[in-house]
Amino acid sequence: MFEQISGSAALIQEYEQAKKLSEDATKDHRYVQTQKKAIRKERLQYESQKEEAERYQQSQEKCLDLKTTLMLWELAIVYSEMEQVKEQRETAMANFSKQKKRQQAAERAVAGKKKEVAAVRKEQLQVGRRVKKQEKVAQGLRPQHVRLRESMKSIEARDNAEAKKLAELFSPLSFSLFAVLLSTLLTSPLTF
- Model-level pTM? 0.39
pLDDT at res. 16 = 83
Which DSSP letter does residue 181 get? H
Instruction: Calculate Rg over the CA atoms of the chain.
Output: 73
Residues in the chain: 192
- The secondary structure element, H or E, covering residue 164 is helix 9-169
Tell me the pLDDT tens digit for each residue of 39-48: 888 889 999 9
Region of poorest pLDDT, from 63-67, 115-119, 174-178 = 174-178
3-state secondary structure (DSSP) of residue 45: helix
pLDDT at res. 189 = 57
pLDDT at res. 96 = 93
